Amino acid sequence: MGHRSAIVVSLVVLGSAARAEPPSYPLVTDSGGGDGPSFVRQVVPAAATATSGLAKTRTIYLNRHGATLSPGTNDSQTQRSTIVSRVSEVPAWNVSTADWASTVTCMQGIWSRFDVVVTDVDPGATPHIEALFGGSPADVGLSSNIGGVSPFTSDCSVIEHSIVFAFTDNLPKRPRVICEVMSQEIAHSYGLDHELLAADPMSYLSYSGEREFQDQAVACGETKERPCGIAGTTCRPSQNSVQLLLARVGAAHRDNQPPSVAITSPAEATTVSAGFMISATATDNVAVASVAFYVDGDLLATRTQAPFQLATSPALERGAHTIVVEATDADGNATTEQRDITVGTAGGDAATATQASPSPLGCSTTGQPPFAMTAIVVAALGLRRRRNPR
């Protein structure tokens, strides 16, 4: 981590399928040697599925109490980890109350600009990354020179429910150093690689100050520039830690909850006449900024306040069409709903309209004269007979 006395290693695990007998994946040494840290990562196949966009796991649990881990898919709620190859016991970190308080304060400070909850209280069923402080790499079957471990995917995507490690037996007994080590490991599970910017916790370069995530695009690497990724794969040409974390977990005090939207008319798979009305409702935890109306992918109009309605063109051609309504809030979160409908033929609509409405003369829809017309005809015939007696 830049402190020459700190031995920090990121173990990169690609893939998370639980197996009865987890395979042994090779370790790759990126650089290191001398009295500095060794930079080792473990390469395993990429996960079949990956999270894109905002992570669902935005609670970070700082655990100094130890844990019993089993091999399997990363899941902090069931204490399963791709890093361990056997049931492993990580002991509690025997740290003073003051040093633990300093560590927690540091962690909350480093992550303060992002939409995450950093807590040392077990969040239980809430999705979370578990940051384990304590023990040594031997406790989980790793070589003795490792200081920090996190899973990492070949496409640099988010690993939900991850468990990451800072082996305090191998780290300086300074809360700030341990805090920076753990912040790097957590960020690995959000898809951040090592980078060549000393002031950033993702760097191994020497630095005498307090590291913070930096809003600057820089090259990835440990001591030499390389593409961001692992084992020859590339997920991005460079890395901006702040912008990448904003994309993965959002900004503090930012509204990350998308609005809800529902099309109330027309209904799905119905036949309508050209010029039909689209009606929708939209709600948000803060406020709906706009509602946009699309037909067959073309934006027709945007409404910024209720009622969210739009009359379509009377010239819309007959046949199948797709309508989409998209609600967006002030922070750019958006939700869409789709309907597939059919615009009926003009002739069919006209015929239906003619049959449904009586003529001005009172003709019935069956073609039979109504009672009133029959009475008039009969009366007229009777009058003619009276005027022309036989």
Tens of pLDDT, residues 207-217: 999 999 999 99
What are 155-182's pLDDT values in tens digits? 888 889 999 999 999 999 999 999 999 9
**How do 298-303 and 260-265 pair as beta strands?**
unpaired
For residue 42, give both structure tokens: 């473990």
Q: Residue 183 CB: number of other CB atoms within 10 A?
A: 29
Q: What local confidence, expressed as pLDDT, does residue 123 receive?
A: 96
Across the chain, mean pLDDT equals: 82
pLDDT digits (tens, 9 = 90+) for 6-25: 444 455 444 433 344 655 55
- Which pLDDT score is estimated for 135? 95
pTM: 0.66
Average pLDDT over residues 119-140: 96
Residue count of the chain? 390
pLDDT of the residue at 351:
37
pLDDT band at 42 (very low <50, low <70, confident <90, very high): low
Single out the residue of 319, 318, 324, 283 nearest to residue 300, CA to CA. Answer: 324
Q: b/e map of 266-286 (b: 16 or more CB within 10 Å)? A: beeeeebbbebebebbbebee
pLDDT at 126 over 60: yes
CB-based contact 171:181 (threshold 8 Å): yes
Q: What is the mean pLDDT of residues 75-82?
A: 93
Buried b (16+ CB within 10 A) or exposed e, 191-209: bbbbbbbbebbbbbbebee
Instruction: Say what the alpha-carbon torsion angle 160, 163, 164, 166 is, to the nearest 10 degrees.
Output: 160
From 143, 149, 137, 218, select the one nearest 189 (Cα to Cα): 149
